[in-house]
Amino acid sequence: MPAIEPEPHTVPSAPRPAPKREKTSPPAKVKAKEPPPRVPEPREPGKPRSKVPVIAAGAGLVAVLAAVGVVMVPRWMAKPPPPPPPVTETTPPPVETPVAQNTPPVETTSKDPVKDPGPTPDNPTQAPTPPVETTPAAEGALLVLKSDPAARIKVFAGKRLKASARSPLNTHLAPGKYEVEVSDEAQGILKRTQITLKGDAMRETISVGKGMLQIPSPFPWATVSVDGQTLGPTPQQKSVYEGVHTVNFDCSNGKKDVQKIEVGEGATVKVKGTCS
């Protein structure tokens, strides 16, 4: 029978102390490395940039606008404005006309008075005034003529009438000599003179002189008038402008005597009437 060996007796050892842990600081944050800046690739000299993206973007915008217009136009056309309401014409009721009665005709007179044709001229066969030749304002020299008293002024070159107007007269004529006539039938004025137009402009006033009419009394006596103005029974004396004056004698025996008398400046003219 085999021998039984005794189990060895082990003494329990004391527990080992836990190792002390050292305090460690948290790991420092490591900054990520920034990528290096991108260097643009060098362009080849003389090679322009491509415009294809810009053109494509513009074509897309045009297509969008066209589509919006196509959608909006039918909607606008689909709703036309309502038609205006029909206009109904109303006819007025017939007017009853009264039965015409036998009434005497009424004479109608014109409201406008008949105009007096006026006195007939003493010389109806007088020749018409020749046409006036007007000179453009841009040509020739300026001519300004006045008369004292105011009367009609005519300017002649030989027998040709160049200008005519009531005082004052403004016209343009070529430099040279001209005949000037100042006349007024109502005042018996008739004066002729000459002027010489020089330079760019000429201004002149033509004064009409005066004379004297002495009218003695004929046999038998008469009532006398000068240029349509009644002076009274003869004898008479009157100051008149130079020119041609009409003296009318209305005799007491019923006869009449009319004379044309020319009076110059400063002159005294005797006018004898004939009543016998």
Low-confidence ranges of the chain (pLDDT < 50): 1, 70-71, 73-74, 76, 109-111, 124, 133-138
pTM of the model: 0.48
Question: Is 75 part of a structural domain of the chain?
Answer: no
Question: Is 79 part of a structural domain of the chain?
Answer: no
Number of domains in the chain: 2
Q: Mark which of 207, 237, 260 sits at the end of a domain.
A: 207
Q: What is the pLDDT of residue 20?
A: 57
Q: Which structural domain range is residue 196 located in?
A: 141-207
Question: Is 107 part of a structural domain of the chain?
Answer: no
Q: What is the pLDDT of residue 93?
A: 62
Tell me the pLDDT tens digit for each residue of 116-156: 555 555 554 555 555 554 444 447 899 999 999 999 999 99
Question: Is 171 part of a structural domain of the chain?
Answer: yes
Question: Is 26 part of a structural domain of the chain?
Answer: no
Question: Is 189 part of a structural domain of the chain?
Answer: yes
Question: Is 98 part of a structural domain of the chain?
Answer: no
DSSP string for residues in the chain: -PPPPPPPP-PPPPPPPPPPPPP-PPPPPPPPPPPPPPPPPPPPTT-PPP-HHHHHHHHHHHHHHHHHHHHHHHHHHTSPPPPPPPPPP-PPPPPPPPPP---PPPPP--SSPPPP--PPPS-TTPPPPPPPPP--TTSSEEEEEEEES--EEEEEETTEEEEEEESSEEEEE-SEEEEEEEEETTTTEEEEEEEEE-SSEEEEEEEP-EEEEEE---SS-EEEEETTEEEEESSEEEEEESEEEEEEEEETTS-EEEEEEEE-TT-EEE------
Q: What is the pLDDT of residue 137?
A: 44
Question: Is 151 part of a structural domain of the chain?
Answer: yes
